[in-house]
Amino acid sequence: MLNDEQLLRYNRQIMLGELDIAGQERLLAANVLILGLGGLGCPAALYLAAAGVGTLRLVDDDVVESSNLQRQIAHGEADVGALKVDSAARSIAAINSDTQVERFAIRADGETLAGLLEGIDLVVDASDSFASRFAVNQACVAANIPLVSGAAIRSEGQVGVFDPASGTACYQCLYPDAPEDADLSCAESGVLAPMVGVIGSLQALEAVKVLAQFGEPLRGKLLMVDGWSLQVRRINLQPAVNCPVCGSR
């Protein structure tokens, strides 16, 4: 049950008929894991906290560097040298002190992901490598947890929702193998600061839709955004029968 302060704080969302009080209560009760507190994870985390998600589990083993400040908006100049999970936790607390933050300054891999997913309702994958994306996809399929995946480089980005319970494609159906340029990083290729903000915000939007049972999430679809020309494409994804992760389903 929402108290008077919460009714006032979240009234702009509650006014949305499809979301309403019931949707806001689902957000307040939700536990979300955010993998990566970089260009995508920062806006995703801040918007999810602002929207009223009850618990955010932050996972990142990196520290803030000055080159991050161009796009990673949860970190400031005073945070250089600090753990990203600590810096992001402070920014989240400044926005919404009621959001519970759990910090894990570790690298998530196949061995640690199962434990990190305990009690989690949804995962936001804001990692920067195909190895991490493949690992978290496999863990989410095994645990039957919806995954909101995003990626951005140069002036391009994409976001999709991979929900095992819906029977739609998983991330590895989209990418059976890592692309040839899989190892390219922002340091090597560059990235527009607002581009990661757009994609990270879209990840937060999709997470809110899934958690609050509101709107039409991108289940089984991939949204591709070209920031250079501002062209947007949405493509339908089909489950791969021979997918090594979800094919048996």
Phi, psi for 114 (deg, rounded to 5): -55, -45
- Residue ranges of domains in the chain, CATH in brackets: 4-236 (3.40.50.720)
Averages of pLDDT over runs of 10 residues in the chain (249 residues) are 95 95 98 98 98 98 96 98 98 98 92 93 94 94 97 95 94 80 62 95 98 96 96 94 82
Rounded Cα distance between 51 and 92, Å, is: 11
Of 207, 225, 169, 209, nearest to 34 by C-alpha is 207
Structure confidence at residue 177 (pLDDT)? 76
Structure confidence at residue 188 (pLDDT)? 66
**Share of the chain residues as helix, strand and coil, in percent rounded to the nearest 5:** 40, 20, 40
Per-residue pLDDT tens digits for 168-180: 999 999 888 766 5
Structure confidence at residue 128 (pLDDT)? 86
Rounded Cα distance between 202 and 160, Å, is: 9
Report the Cα 112 to chain-centroid distance in Å: 18
Structure confidence at residue 181 (pLDDT)? 56
Query: Which pTM was predicted?
Result: 0.95
Per-residue pLDDT tens digits for 49-90: 999 999 999 999 999 999 999 999 999 999 999 999 999 999
